[in-house]
């Protein structure tokens, strides 16, 4: 196989690794926010939906942007995906945050088991995808 194909394979593997790192990072941020015991009332500043096409299927992703003030008086604004579709601009919600990363807050109620299961599922899919890609590359290139 040509050098360009090999480069593409490794770029895709790097994408899988980046996805895994980002997934674990967000999982750890949410856990830290839930375990900190710090909460605040936040206001929904903006709500919107993005569309993502995967295998000719459109997937809608709900986004919200929140404003809140930490217990020590810092104003914080953050964005989060995956919230309820009926949550609208101006609505007040409870957010969980860690003192060392208030901009990595979450408006999701604590569900550590569900969050862990989702994280593990995503990681398994990324590993399987990378393994299939590398095995196909190896068989096509004769490695």
pTM, two decimals, is 0.82
Residue 88 per-residue DSSP state: -
Q: What is the pLDDT of residue 1?
A: 52
CA nearest neighbour of 51 among 61, 41, 42: 61
Read off the pLDDT of residues 4-63 as tens digits, 9 standing for 90 and up: 778 989 999 999 999 999 999 999 999 999 999 999 999 999 999 999 887 788 888 999
Are the C-beta atoms of 78 and 104 separated by less than 8 Å? yes
């Amino acid at each position: 196989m040509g050098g360009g194909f090999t480069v593409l394979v490794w770029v895709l593997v790097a994408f899988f690794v980046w996805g895994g790192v980002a997934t674990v990072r967000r999982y750890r941020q949410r856990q830290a926010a839930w375990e900190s015991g710090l909460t605040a009332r936040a206001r929904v500043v903006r709500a919107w939906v993005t569309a993502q096409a995967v295998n000719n299927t459109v997937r809608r992703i709900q986004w919200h942007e929140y404003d809140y003030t930490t217990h020590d008086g810092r104003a914080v604004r953050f964005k989060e995906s995956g919230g309820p579709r009926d949550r609208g601009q101006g609505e007040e919600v409870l957010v969980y945050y860690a003192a060392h990363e208030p901009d990595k807050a979450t408006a999701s109620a604590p569900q550590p088991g569900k969050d862990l299961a989702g994280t593990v599922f995503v990681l398994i899919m990324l590993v399987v995808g990378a393994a299939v890609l590398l095995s196909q590359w190896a068989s096509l290139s004769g490695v």
